Structure 1
């Protein structure tokens, strides 16, 4: 338990990336349509995000500065500005989707339209970001997101053929839906596991917690515990949907449908746990994306930033937070479907991924910042291979979206 408490920054970072509002439905739809055939995507994503999150955490601990702060200094303002604009837009769109996810979870709990809950969700997120200490925030919402383990519990209560489930995870197939649709879902799931805001949030969180070179072991424990937990939660969603929906060929397209197998297995207690999990992971993701947008903008322009300083001392940082939340509310008030919005966000995220991860690899090899703590050959090999996968996903995202009409 002590190690879990120590790794809550990694857990919150991973929950926001692996199981936000889009992934709750996208992972379930992947299981319903293709069974366990995308399990390998999560495995690759976990390995890759662990490699780059470790670099980002090491950069924060050794240099005392966040990744985006160093990207501007190392690569110059023009390259960093391109990175900022692309990642900021994707992150704010994601923030809007997460606010919509919180509202949908409250709709599931109360029966009231999610549009009524959108302003309430935005105010609640702003109050937490404004008033709650960073360490308390990461512990409360990082651990609350673990309520999603109810899907793993439900898997044991459902009539699960474990041998068939394992065979499906080792067999790559399109299940009759066509290979373009299979690869579109693969790219979308991959993009969700390595969203740009995850590493921005993680490295900035390390600075918020005042990591130093003496905290490198702590930073690695956050990575090696937190991000695999996020991958396991996403895998549980896929597995439950595989058992509950894949044999019939139906596909869940709402949060209520995603929760239905848990209710079938565990009754009212399962529904309560699922609603709590949906609320916790989407609220946590809203906190993460809101902070990430403000972190990136403030670090680029050299403003005072962070929750460790008072709002008066970091007025521009908190102003960017507020602007992001207001933009998210305005976008949702157009009655756009939050789940559909996230699907488009995942495609955009896949396109801009190289702009995020290449600079991290460059900075992690700069002895001017890290001294003898630069990447070793193994980390560079893993980072380079993963970067090639990121570039491939970036190039394939839009063509696959057009050919498959967003995976339909």
Structure 2
């Protein structure tokens, strides 16, 4: 239990990346349309995000500074500004999608239209970010997100053909769909697992917790426990959708459809746990993206930042945080479909991925910051291979979105 509590930063970071509203939608759609044919995407995503999260955590622990804090200093203000603008816009768009996910979860629980819940969700997220201590926040919402394990348990209650799932996982196939649609879904799912804000939040969280070089083991535990747990939860979503929807050719387009297999397996209790899980993971991801937007801006401009200091001492940091939440709420109040917004968010996220991950690889090899704690040969090999995949996904995202009309 002590190790689990120590890894809650990694779990919350992973939940924000692997099983937020983006992955609830992307993973379930992938399972319904292609079975387990995209399982390899999650495996690649887990390996890659673990590699870069370890670098980000090591940078925070050894230098005492967050990744974005060093990007401007290492790469210069112009390159860092491009990184800031791109990552901040995508993060705010993601925050809006997460707030929409919270509202949809509350609609599922109450039957009241989600637009009524959007301002409530925005106020609740802001209050938690303003008042709750960082460590308490990460533990409450990191552990609450584990309620999503109900999807893994549901596989044992549903008529699951384990051999068929295994066979689908080992064969890359587009089935009745076109290959362009298959690869669009793969890019969207990949982007949902390696969202740009994940590593910024993780490294900033390490600074919030005052990591030092003596805490490198704790940082690695966060990575090696938290992110694989997130990947497993996302894989469970794919598998449940593959069992419940893929044989009949049905698609998943709403949050209640994502929950339906759990309801079939466990009845009303399953619905309660699923709604709790949806609320926990989307609310946790909203906290993560809200903080990430404020972290990036404050670290670029050299402002005082973090939940470890009072709002009065970090007024500009909290102002950016409040503005980001307000923008997310206003975006949703235009009645844009949160699920559709999520799909566009994943495409934009894929496009800007190289701007996030390349600077991390550069800083992780700088002895001026890390001394003898720079990347080793295997870290750089894995980081370089993963960066090539990121660039490929970035280049392919928009053409695939146009060709497939957003995966239709």
- How would you bin the TM-score normalised by the shorter chain? over 0.9
Distance 1:130 1:83 in 2: 26
Q: CA deviation at 1:26?
A: 1.5
Q: CA deviation at 1:252?
A: 1.5
Which residue is equivalent to 2:307? Answer: 307
Which residue is equivalent to 2:334? Answer: 334
Distance 2:352 2:33 in 1: 27
Distance 2:240 2:142 in 1: 22
Residue aligned with 1:247, SS: helix
Which residue is equivalent to 1:204? Answer: 204
Distance 1:400 1:262 in 2: 32
Following TM superposition, where does structure 1 have runs of at least 4 consecutive aligned residues deviating by more than 4 angstroms?
none
Distance 2:168 2:2 in 1: 35
Distance 2:186 2:315 in 1: 41
Residue aligned with 2:247, SS: coil
**Counterparts in 2 of 1:253-292, with a 5 A limit?**
253-292=253-292
Which residue is equivalent to 1:24? Answer: 24
Which residue is equivalent to 1:94? Answer: 94
Distance 1:323 1:144 in 2: 27
* Contact residue 23 and residue 193 of structure 2 kept, 8 A: no
Residue aligned with 2:242, SS: helix
Distance 2:18 2:44 in 1: 13
Which residue is equivalent to 1:60? Answer: 60
5+ residue gaps, structure 1: none
Which residue is equivalent to 1:324? Answer: 324
* 1:307-329 deviation digits (Å, cap 9, x = unpaired): 00000000000000000011001
**Counterparts in 2 of 1:133-172, with a 5 A limit?**
133-172=133-172
Residue aligned with 1:306, SS: coil
Distance 2:163 2:44 in 1: 22
Q: CA deviation at 1:25?
A: 1.6
**Counterparts in 2 of 1:4-403, with a 5 A limit?**
4-403=4-403
> TM-score, normalised to structure 1's length?
1.00
* 1:124-152 deviation digits (Å, cap 9, x = unpaired): 00000000000000000000000000000
Q: CA deviation at 1:266?
A: 0.7
> TM-score, normalised to structure 2's length?
1.00
Q: CA deviation at 1:83?
A: 0.1
Distance 2:289 2:339 in 1: 16
Distance 1:185 1:356 in 2: 21
Q: CA deviation at 1:116?
A: 0.3
* 1:225-277 deviation digits (Å, cap 9, x = unpaired): 00000000000000000000000000121111110000000111100000000
Distance 1:25 1:332 in 2: 17
Q: CA deviation at 1:168?
A: 0.6
Q: CA deviation at 1:22?
A: 2.0
Distance 1:40 1:2 in 2: 31
Distance 1:5 1:177 in 2: 43
Aligned length in residues: 408
Distance 2:87 2:371 in 1: 28
Q: CA deviation at 1:2?
A: 1.5
* 1:140-199 deviation digits (Å, cap 9, x = unpaired): 000000000000010110000101111110010001101000000000011111111000
